[in-house]
């Protein structure tokens, strides 16, 4: 595997994280900020360990689409040569879209 040179948030990825943080902030700005910080720290690890997440079971025919679990949330990302795309952050109880790319 090539060394990861970039980590790119897709529009859906950024929007999904923002919506979660806004929802949490209705109860606690502190916990919302802490949640966002932890998600970002988790994602930063992908630069050194891009395959640390498991293959997403719903997309098991595509091993480039992987996920990390943080609390009750799934961080879905795609590994593409030397770039990682953050595709979606979604609560574990919700269904993933049929076509993520």
Residue pLDDT, tens place only, 27-64: 999 999 999 999 999 999 999 999 999 999 988 788 89
* The model's pTM: 0.92
Number of domains in the chain: 1
Output the pLDDT for position 63: 86
φ, ψ of residue 51 in degrees (nearest 5)? -100, 15
**101 located within any domain:** no
Q: Which domain holds residue 39?
A: 6-91
CATH number of residue 67's parent domain: 3.30.2310.20
- For the chain, the average pLDDT equals 93
Spell out the residues 6+ positions from residue 86 whose beta carbon is closer than 8 angstroms to its own: 7, 8, 9, 10, 13, 14, 43, 75, 76, 77
**79 located within any domain:** yes
């Amino acid at each position: 595997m090539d060394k990861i040179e970039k980590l790119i948030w897709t529009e859906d990825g950024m929007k999904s994280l923002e919506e979660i943080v806004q929802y949490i902030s209705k109860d606690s700005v502190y916990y919302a900020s802490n949640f966002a910080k932890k998600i970002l720290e988790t994602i930063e690890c992908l630069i050194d360990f891009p395959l640390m997440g498991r293959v997403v079971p719903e997309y098991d025919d595509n091993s480039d689409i992987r996920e990390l679990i943080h609390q009750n949330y799934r961080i879905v990302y795609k590994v593409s040569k030397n770039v990682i795309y953050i595709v979606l952050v979604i609560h574990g109880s919700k269904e993933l879209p049929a076509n993520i790319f």
